[in-house]
Amino acid sequence: MSLKAGFIYVLIHPSDPNLIKVGMTTRNPKIRLKEHNTQFDKAAGKVVEATGQKWVIKEFYPVEDTYNAESAFFHRSPLTEIPYIMGNELLKLDDKFITWDWVNQGLEVAKSVGIRRDTSQPPIPKPKPKKGAQWIEDQLKDSGLSPLKGFGNGIRKVAFECPNGHIFKLDGRTLVRFPFCPICEPERFDAYTLRRVEIDF
């Protein structure tokens, strides 16, 4: 893998102060921002499409080895330990795991990690979240929510039923973060997640 300098950047979204995207690019971050705001088949673009509001750049920094910087930022706890943290390539800030302090620490690591010793070898790839159906089902066992059909790997939207008989679709990993019925208790969901719930299908 060739050595490429570039930038690490943080995007924020006006619809939700806790929704962010951290990325790397070998191009001008403003060009990458435009792509995020227009590629509606990608996670960031789906937020724009759903809300009608565009992502904005909070900050960006030059890095010597883009791929190594990305690996350094993402290959840290809790991303490697908590299954639902990296849903849809976007990050949700919270008061326990993904905080601004954690993001800023990661930026410092990414900025200072430098160049790989052997640039012919790729850096450690971005960790993949644990997204098994059994884990999701175990996490929801006390919520009263039950999967109905097509219960897969947690990325695809799945039909769930609540104890009151309401049926809705949402991906399993997101539901683990919000283990409630969006029809009975919509106030427990943030606006972006609530928009992703399918009720009439």
Contact 81, 74 (CB under 8 A): no
| Model confidence pLDDT, tens digit, residues 27-70 | 999 999 999 999 998 889 988 988 899 999 999 999 999 989 98
What's the Cα-to-Cα distance from 194 to each of 96, 104, 182, 198, rounded to whole Å? Answer: 22, 28, 7, 9
Residue 136's pLDDT is what? 80
Whether residue 29 has a cis bond before it, omega within 30° of 0: no
What's the Cα-to-Cα distance from 65 to each of 21, 84, 103, rounded to whole Å? Answer: 19, 28, 19
φ/ψ of residue 199, rounded to 5: -110, -45
d(CA 147, CA 70): 35
Residue 32's pLDDT is what? 96
Split at pLDDT 50, 70, 90, the class of 186 is: very high
Say if pTM beats, i.e. exceeds, 0.85: no
Residue 126's pLDDT is what? 63
Residue 8's pLDDT is what? 95
d(CA 52, CA 193): 15
Q: Where are the domains of the chain?
A: 6-112, 133-196
Residue 86's pLDDT is what? 54
Q: What does pLDDT average to over the chain?
A: 84
| Model confidence pLDDT, tens digit, residues 82-102 | 655 655 578 888 888 889 999
